Structure 1
Amino acid sequence: DLSGSVPSEVGKLTNLVEIVVSSNDLSGSVPSEVGKLTNLVEIDVSWNDLSGSVPSEVGKLTNLVEIDVSDNVLSGSFPSEMGQLTNLVRLNVLQNLLNGTIPDELYRLESLTDFDCSFNSLSGTINDQIGRLTNLESLSVGGNAFTGTFPSTVGNLTNLKYFDISLNFFTGTIPSELALIENINRIDVRWNNFNGTVPEELCELEELFNLIADCFPTNITGLPAVKCKCCTTCCDTARRGDWEACGPT
C-alpha cells in the first residue's frame, strides 16, 4: 500500500494522463501543483485518508473526464472553478466532509452522466439549473443538509436511471415532473420533510423498480408523512437514518 502524502513535485509530471491511487493509505492534502497536469483525463484517489480542501487549481484540468475522491476526509467547499471542467462525465465526492453549497458553476457541466455528493455536510438549495444536466444517468445527493423544494426542472433529466435525495431536509411536495423520466429505475426520497402525496403518475413508469418514501405511519402522529399508492418501500420519517424503520409495502 502507498502511504504518506502526495508530494508537490507531482506537478512536474506534466505528461500524466491518469492518477489512479485508490484504496491506499495516502494522507495530507491534495497539492495545488496538481493544476499543472493539464493532460489529466482521470483522477481517482478514492478510499484514502486525504484531508484539506479540493484545490481551486483543479479547474485548470479541462481534459478531465472523471474525478473520484470518494471515501476520504476532504473538507471545505466545492471550488467554483470546477465549473470549467466541461468534459467531465463522472464526479464522485461521496463520503467526505465537504460543506457549503453546490456552486452555480457546477450546473454548467452538461457532459456529466454521474454525480454523487452523498454523505457530506452540504447545505442550501438545489438550483433550477440542475435541469441543464440532461446527460445525467445517476444523481445522488443523499445524506446532506439540503433544504427548500426540489426543482421541477428535474423533469428535463430524461436519461436519469437513479435518483437519490434521501436524508436531507427538502420540503414541499415530491416533483410530479419525475414522471417525465420514462426509463428511471430507482427514486429514493425518504427521510426528508416532504408532504402531500407521492405523484400517482410515478406508478405508471414501467422501468421504475424501487420507489422509496416516508409513507410509513409515524409513532408520533400515527399518519405517514406522505401518502403513496405504489411505493416499494416505506420509511418512518420520525426515525431518520434508522434502516430498520423501513420496510416493504
Structure 2
Amino acid sequence: MIDDELLNSLSSQKLIDSGKVAFDNLLAVPSANLSGTVPREIGELVALQSLYLGVNALSVTIPLELGYISSLSNVELSGNMFTGPVPVSIWNLCENLVSLRLHGNSLSGHNSFSGDFSEFVARFSGLKELNLGDNKLSSTIPGSLSALHLEKLNISYYSFSGVLPNFGQPKFGVEAFEGNGPELCGLPLRPCNGNSGLSPGAIAGIVIGLMAGAVLLASLLIGYFSGKKRRTNDNETGEEDFEELEDEENGGGWWW
C-alpha cells in the first residue's frame, strides 16, 4: 500500500526500492502498482520539490495536506483513479509550481477530478506545464489562463463550454482542447457564432481605425466641396465682371 511506502520515506532520508527513489526533495514512485490512498502525512515532507506518483492505482481524493508543501515545483499524479474535486490547498503552490500533471492518460488508471475550473490557476505565475486532460472539470475556461507563460497545455476531454481565451498566437493545437462540449469555440477550434474570434484589443484597434478613416474621409469631402464652391464663386464673379465690361464697351459705342 502507498501508505507504508510514504510513511517509510518520512522517517528515512533515502529510500531505494527496485529503482524507485525518494530523497528529501524528490519522491519518485511511478508505475509501481501502488494502490490505496495518499496519506495525510505527506504534508510533513516540507522540503519536497518534486512528486512523481504517476501510472499507479491510487484512489479516493488528493489529500489537502499536499498543498501545504510550498516548496513543490513538480507534481505528477496522472494515470491514477483519484476522484472528487482538486483540493483548494493546491493553489497555495502558486509561487514555485512549474509543472502540474493530473491527466488520466494511462490504461492502468483514470483520474476523475470534478468541479469548476478555478480562477486561481492564473496565480501560478511560473507555471510552464498544465496537463489536466481526461477529467471531469466543467464550466468555462477562465480568460486569465492566457496570462500564464505556458509552454505545454492539455485540457482535453472535459465538459468545458464557452469561448476559449485568446493566447495571442497559435501556441497550442486542437489536441489541447479536443473532446470538450460542442459549445466550446474559438481558435484553434471552430469560430464562435456571432464572434469574430478577435481579441478585444484587435476589435478596439479596428474600431479606432474605422473612426479615423471616417474623420479623414469627412475632412476630404469638406475640403473638396469647399474648393468647388470657391471655384464656382470665382467663376460667377468673373462672369459678372466680364458682362459689366461688355456693357461699358457697348454703351460707349452708342455715344459715338
**TM-score higher than 0.5 here?**
yes
CA distance in 2, matches of 1:171, 1:125: 12
Q: Aligned residue for 2:103?
A: 118
Identity of aligned residues (%): 22
CA distance in 1, matches of 2:82, 2:136: 11
Aligned length: 188
Q: Aligned residue for 1:78?
A: 62
Q: Aligned residue for 1:245?
A: none
Residues 118 and 196 from structure 1, CA distance in 2 versus in 1: closer, same or farther, beyond 3 angstroms?
closer
Task: State which of 125, 132, 152 in structure 2 corresponds to 1:162.
Answer: 152
Residues 12 and 23 from structure 1, CA distance in 2 versus in 1: closer, same or farther, beyond 3 angstroms?
closer
CA distance in 2, matches of 1:146, 1:59: 25
CA distance in 1, matches of 2:19, 2:101: 17
Q: Aligned residue for 1:240?
A: none
2:91 paired with 1:107: yes
More displaced stretch, 45-54 vs 186-195: 186-195
Task: State which of 56, 71, 94 in structure 1 corresponds to 2:78.
Answer: 94
In proportion to residue count, which structure has more strand?
1
CA distance in 2, matches of 1:112, 1:14: 25
Residues 133 and 194 from structure 1, CA distance in 2 versus in 1: closer, same or farther, beyond 3 angstroms?
farther
Paired residues for 1:1-249 under 5 Å: 6=4, 10=8, 13-16=11-14, 40-110=24-94, 111-119=96-104, 120-158=111-149, 160-176=150-166, 178-179=167-168, 184=171, 188-193=176-181, 195=183, 197-199=185-187, 213=189, 215=190
Q: What's the secondary structure of 2:153's corresponding residue? A: strand
Q: Structure 1: where are the runs of 5+ without partners?
A: 25-36, 200-210, 216-222, 230-249
Residues 126 and 5 from structure 1, CA distance in 2 versus in 1: closer, same or farther, beyond 3 angstroms?
closer
How far apart are 1:19 and its partner, in Å?
Answer: 5.8
How far apart are 1:14 and its partner, in Å?
Answer: 3.1
Q: Is the 8 A contact 1:19 1:44 kept in 2?
A: no
Q: Aligned residue for 1:31?
A: none
Q: What's the secondary structure of 1:74's corresponding residue? A: strand
CA distance in 2, matches of 1:96, 1:191: 20
State the structure with more CA Rg.
2
How far apart are 1:152 and its partner, in Å?
Answer: 1.6
Q: Is the 8 A contact 1:99 1:122 kept in 2?
A: yes
Read off the aligned partner of 2:41 and give its amino acid letter: E
CA distance in 2, matches of 1:93, 1:9: 18
How far apart are 1:11 and its partner, in Å?
Answer: 5.2
Read off the aligned partner of 1:152 and give its amino acid letter: G
Residues 196 and 115 from structure 1, CA distance in 2 versus in 1: closer, same or farther, beyond 3 angstroms?
closer
TM-score by length of 2: 0.63
CA distance in 1, matches of 2:10, 2:131: 35
Read off the aligned partner of 1:172 and give its amino acid letter: G
Read off the aligned partner of 2:153 and give its amino acid letter: F
Residues 123 and 197 from structure 1, CA distance in 2 versus in 1: closer, same or farther, beyond 3 angstroms?
closer
CA distance in 2, matches of 1:137, 1:8: 27
Q: What's the secondary structure of 1:108's corresponding residue? A: helix
How far apart are 1:7 and its partner, in Å?
Answer: 5.8
TM-score by length of 1: 0.65
How far apart are 1:10 and its partner, in Å?
Answer: 2.3
Residues 79 and 13 from structure 1, CA distance in 2 versus in 1: closer, same or farther, beyond 3 angstroms?
closer
CA RMSD across the alignment? 3.4
Q: What's the secondary structure of 1:83's corresponding residue? A: helix
Q: What's the secondary structure of 2:100's corresponding residue? A: strand
Q: Is the 8 A contact 1:140 1:164 kept in 2?
A: yes
CA distance in 1, matches of 2:74, 2:180: 26
Q: Is the 8 A contact 1:90 1:114 kept in 2?
A: yes
